[in-house]
Amino acid sequence: MSHEYRKSPEAVSRLSPEQYRVTQEAGTEPAFDNAYWDNEEPGIYVDIVSGEPLFASVNKYDSGTGWPTFTRPIESENVVEVRESSHAMFGTEVRSAHGDSHVGHVFDDGPPETGGLRYCMNSAALRFIPRDDLEREGYGEYRRIFEHPDGERR
């Protein structure tokens, strides 16, 4: 299924002040005081501006940082990593490829068994689509990641 993900003035105008500060001005929301840091529901996380799929709950883990954290993106072509020379302590900036939203940072101190990366994201840059709503929301092709080879749901 082909989707056209993009940033539009209408989408940007619908952002809350916090969503705008995070996505358009590269802000960071408070740790442990954001929508998804402790969300354990199965589903995917998409860019709040463009709707492009970024991360899945099957790759989410509790890093203890207070932000939603993932071991890898759901679609690597939807994630752009930008090296920040002036803010090395913040890791590498992560932006959405089509929406050009600042979504968080990636660090190389994640779980070694899953590749060693820690994608630490801002909830304000994301919209969560529950697994059971994927079809209705137009993300049905991602249901496959919630099925075990034996057909059991994750």
The per-residue pLDDT for range 139-148, each reduced to its tens digit, is 999 999 998 7
What is the C-alpha separation between 27 and 138, in angstroms, rounded?
29
Catalytic residues, by residue number, are: 120
Do the domain assignments include residue 142? no
Q: What percent of the chain has pLDDT above 90?
A: 84
**Residue from 34, 37, 71, 78 nearest 56 by CA:** 71
Answer yes or no: is 35 within a domain: yes
pTM of this structure: 0.92
141 lies in some domain: no
144 belongs to a structural domain: no
- For residue 140, being part of any structural domain is answered with no
Residue pLDDT, tens place only, 68-110: 999 999 999 999 999 866 555 667 999 999 999 999 999 999 9
**Residues 57, 62, 65, 66, CA torsion sign:** positive
User: Is 60 exceeded by the pLDDT of residue 152?
Assistant: no
- In degrees and rounded to multiples of 5, residue 28 shows phi and psi of -130, 130
Average pLDDT over residues 29-50: 97
Residue 151 pLDDT class (50, 70, 90 cuts): very low
Return the higher-pLDDT residue of 23 and 6. 23
Tell me, what's the pLDDT at 76? 94
CA 93 to CA 81: how far, in whole Å? 6
Give the pLDDT score at 4: 80
Please indicate, yes or no, if residue 153 is contained in any of the structural domains.
no
Domain that holds residue 35: 9-135
Least confidently predicted of 43-52, 75-84, 132-141: 75-84
- Residue 128's pLDDT is what? 98
Mean pLDDT score of the chain, rounded to an integer? 91
Residue 4 lies in a domain: no
> How many structural domains is the chain composed of?
1
Residue 3 has what pLDDT?
74
Residue 154 counted as domain residue: no
Q: What is the CATH number of the domain that holds 46?
A: 2.170.150.20
